[in-house]
Amino acid sequence: MAWSVDAFSAQVTGIKVNGNQRIGNDSILYHLGLKIGDEIDDIKLNTGLKALFDTNLFADVKIRNDHNLVTVDVIENPIINRVVFEGNRRINDDALKSEVYMKPRDVFTKSRVQADTLRILSLYRRQGRFAATVEPKIIKLEQNRVDLVFEINESKLTGVKKILFVGNQKFSTSKLQSVLRTKETRWYRFLTNDDNYDPERIAFDRELLRVHYLKNGYVDFKVLSSIAELATDKSGFFITFTIEEGTRYRVGEVKINCQLKNIDEKALKHLLELKTRDWYDGGLVEKSMDKITDYLGDMGYAFVNVKPDFKKNPEEKTVDITFDVTEGARVYIGQIDIHGNLATYDKVVRREFRLYEGDAYNTSKLRRSEQRLQNLNFFSTVNVEKEQGDAPDKVNLKVNVKEKSTGEISVAGGVTSIEGMIGNVRFSENNFMGKGQQLSSDFTISKRTREFDVSFTEPYFLDKNLSAGVDLFKVRYDQTSQNGYIHHRHGGTTRIGYHITEPLVHRVWYTVRQDRVSSFRDDASIIIREQQGTRNTSLVGHELSYDKRDNRIDPTTGYVLSLTNEYAGLGGQTKFLRHNTEGKSYYSLSENVVFTLRASGGLMQIVQNQPIKTVDRFFLGGDSLRGFEYFGVSPREITRSEAVGGRYYYTGSAEVSFPIGLPNELGIKGSLFADVGSIWKSDYSKDLVNDSSKVRSSVGFGIAWASPLGPIRLDIARATRYQKFDKRQPVLFSFRTTF
């Protein structure tokens, strides 16, 4: 930048422009702000010079005043021919191009190149690559054009070398580290990115620390600072949280101040999760508020405010809590907007809502709607935000979902003394075409079994709260070694289901199938030979299920009950009545420790004195009674030890799952279990069949790993009570993966 002027005022007699190739004289004179006849002085020349530079069209500008003849010498900035990225493998060209502002045919300026370089670096840092470098290179071309090349060294992900705490006395560093989402770099975290530095995650970690301390009674807890320092070699970050724990408080007096009519405060007090002299727990305060709100919502109070009022007593180290319950302003649902559902149709999300546009706002129904969306298992996260509507009494709901893999390829296997290796491959898509439909196919193969199934379900048939589906199956059971026959079965099922109430579901189905029993061993028993031939079965059934689990995918509390009845005899050669009942109950003993009780039972009734065939009877073993083979527990023919099945059975199980001391993010849990059960009533004489109603039992342990490739489970069980004719099996293994 340069200029030459005379230090006196005069009139411009002429203006001359030199060096411009693309930019016309008129444009330059316009920005110069001078014309012939104008008075000329230092201020005007300086103003014109600055205006020309501000256009970013010129690399250099000089203005001379030679006896009132103004000469403007310019060097134009080149035009960008193309923008090229080199060395980028982790971030593709399209993502980088969307980040930079400079485009082909733009005017090149050093300041804009520098700004774009910083934008690229910022993009890499957001991905955790703080050691990345970007060097812009200019390749000059003819006609004052240039190629702009960004040479990128992406570097490795910048991990977290160490997480430190200053001021922690009540909790160890390792305990506080387990609370955080950010983790220290370890070899086993190669499939996650939680050990990469992320400033937003650090901010979230501050909140996690606060929640942890509040849950444990530290009401005055503060995070004074969180500092991230990059190592001098840029190989990783050292993160230091400085905290002030404060005093631990117990719960003092707990009261409810209810302003609603016809509501008994004693009934509300039974809903409280906090008791006097317990350690204060912020999580239980929120849970108590939710239970009160839900209870009042069910009582018809849609507009309720539940607000806790705290009074600290530092001398006694207690916190008095008063829950003020008042009737809130009447608020109605305005719009329900859905975001993040890239593959899933809007209506699939909307139909799970218990609230609709125009309804009275109800916290209980909103929470239930979120739970229903989570139960779909279509989304990794579900979050509903409330926003002010277009009127004071309107609230809009913004539903944010993040889709996850809904397709699944399952691979399962087991080891038995008779079957050897059992393999199962299952394909399923639980959100087919984004419409919430379920499509699956299943293929099982072993030394004795060939089974293929196809299933399709429309959960909202004709856009009504009515599920409908169809199943087709073809099975070949080679039970020559165990039961002395080969069993072929094929057929299909149509089914419908509907909700009677929110947790109570009724399902009805009709099945037509054909069973063919053949290929007997030469030494097969008379009982097994009686099964020979082809039989058609026409069967109708129904099921009532009552589900009060907190989560269908990974329950920790609640229970589910079911009752099933089936009648075969609407045509065909097979007649029987079959009844089953099952119940499961879940109890959260502590964080990540869940106790589960299971029980089931069934019986079959003879219709019109027609014997029930072996292929229709009950058998136990495998998943139903661990420690025994599939079909391992059953009445058995005496001479050939062939399983003939029973008409009565029951099972029971108690299991506790828990962490085994490894880092939580590995997703590895252990379990201890005990199973009991029995099966009997073969309808054959004791001279032909070993038949005992005595209890069988087993104990064992399992390891479950929620691996990035899919859940893997290994159960090892020992049969503690059994009959000499039972078939035992100590190992059961399964694995599945998703896509």
Q: What is the pLDDT of residues 380-426, one digit of tens each?
A: 889 998 888 888 888 899 999 998 888 877 776 655 444 556 677 88
Selected residue with higher pLDDT from 573 and 676: 676
| 736 pLDDT above the threshold of 90 | no
| 733 pLDDT above the threshold of 70 | no
Structure-token pair, residue 336? 């329900």
Nearest C-alpha neighbor of 614 from the set 486, 443, 726: 486
Nearest C-alpha neighbor of 399 from the set 350, 345, 432: 350
Predicted local distance difference test score (pLDDT) of residue 289: 92
Q: What are phi and psi of 443, to 5 degrees?
A: -130, 125
Average pLDDT over residues 544-553: 89
Nearest C-alpha neighbor of 737 from the set 436, 419, 424, 449: 424
Q: What is the pLDDT of residues 591-650, one digit of tens each?
A: 789 999 999 999 999 999 999 988 899 999 988 999 998 788 999 988 878 788 999 999
Predicted local distance difference test score (pLDDT) of residue 631: 83
Q: What is the DSSP string of 350-374?
A: HTT-S--TTSBP-HHHHHHHHHHHH
CA distance 738 to 426: 11
Q: What is the pLDDT of residues 91-139, one digit of tens each?
A: 999 999 988 999 998 889 888 999 999 999 999 988 888 889 999 999 9
Dihedral, CA atoms, 52, 54, 57, 59, nearest 10 degrees?
Answer: 80
CA distance 723 to 191: 47
CA distance 382 to 551: 13
In the chain, the amino acid numbered 344 is T
Q: What is the pLDDT of residues 476-513, one digit of tens each?
A: 877 666 556 788 899 999 999 999 988 999 999 999 99
Q: What is the pLDDT of residues 146-198, one digit of tens each?
A: 999 999 999 888 889 999 999 999 999 989 998 998 998 887 776 677 788 88
Predicted local distance difference test score (pLDDT) of residue 177: 92
CA distance 617 to 635: 11
**What share of the chain in percent tops pLDDT 90?**
47
Confidence of residue 522 (pLDDT cuts 50, 70, 90): low
Predicted local distance difference test score (pLDDT) of residue 445: 81
Predicted local distance difference test score (pLDDT) of residue 143: 85
CA distance 548 to 126: 42
Q: What is the pLDDT of residues 682-731, one digit of tens each?
A: 988 888 899 999 999 999 999 988 776 666 778 899 999 999 999 888 87
The domain 407-738 is placed in CATH, from the list 2.40.160.50, 2.60.40.1930, 3.30.420.40, 2.40.10.10, at 2.40.160.50
CA distance 293 to 300: 11
Range(s) of the chain covered by CATH 3.10.20.310: 2-76, 79-153, 159-244, 250-327, 332-403
Q: What is the pLDDT of residues 289-335, one digit of tens each?
A: 988 988 887 777 777 889 999 999 999 999 999 999 998 777 889 99
Q: How far is CA 649 from CA 522, 559, 617, 621, 625, in A?
A: 31, 22, 10, 12, 11
Predicted local distance difference test score (pLDDT) of residue 419: 53
How do the residues of the chain divide into helix, strand and coil, expressed in percent and rounded to 5?
A: 15, 50, 35
Homologous superfamily (CATH) of 250-327 is: membrane protein fhac (3.10.20.310)
The domain 2-76 is placed in CATH, from the list 3.10.20.310, 3.40.50.300, 3.40.50.1980, 3.30.390.30, at 3.10.20.310
The domain 79-153 is placed in CATH, from the list 3.30.70.20, 3.40.50.10580, 3.10.20.310, 3.40.50.300, at 3.10.20.310
26 burial type by CB count under 10 A (0-12 exposed, 13-18 middle, 19+ buried): exposed
Predicted local distance difference test score (pLDDT) of residue 190: 67
Structure-token pair, residue 436? 């919430």
Q: Is 92 helix (H, G, I), strand (E, B) or coil?
A: coil
Nearest C-alpha neighbor of 487 from the set 523, 456, 455, 524: 524
Burial 103-122 (b: 16+ CB within 10 A, else e): eeeebbbeebbeebbeebbe
The side-by-side arrangement of strands in the sheet containing 318-327 is 250-258, 318-327, 304-313
431: Cβ contacts below 8 Å, ≥ 6 apart: 343, 344, 348, 376, 378, 406, 437
454 burial type by CB count under 10 A (0-12 exposed, 13-18 middle, 19+ buried): middle
Structure-token pair, residue 309? 């009022």
Q: What is the pLDDT of residues 17-71, one digit of tens each?
A: 888 888 888 888 888 888 888 888 888 888 888 988 888 888 888 888 888 888 8
Q: What is the 3-state secondary structure (H, E, C) of 540-596?
A: EEEEEEEECCCCCCCCCCEEEEEEEEEEEEEEECCCEEEEEEEEEEEEEEECCEEEE
Range(s) of the chain covered by CATH 2.40.160.50: 407-738
The pairing of beta strand 2-4 with beta strand 133-141: unpaired
| 7 pLDDT above the threshold of 50 | no
Predicted local distance difference test score (pLDDT) of residue 531: 75
The domain 332-403 is placed in CATH, from the list 3.40.50.300, 3.10.20.310, 1.10.1740.10, 2.60.40.740, at 3.10.20.310
Average pLDDT over residues 277-295: 91
- Dmax of the chain from CA atoms? 133
Nearest C-alpha neighbor of 610 from the set 574, 646, 566: 574
| 539 pLDDT above the threshold of 90 | yes
CA distance 238 to 159: 9
Q: Which residue has tokens 């969306």?
A: 373
Q: What is the DSSP string of 38-51?
A: -EE-HHHHHHHHHH
Whether CATH 3.10.20.310 fits 159-244: yes
CB 693 within 8 A of CB 677: no
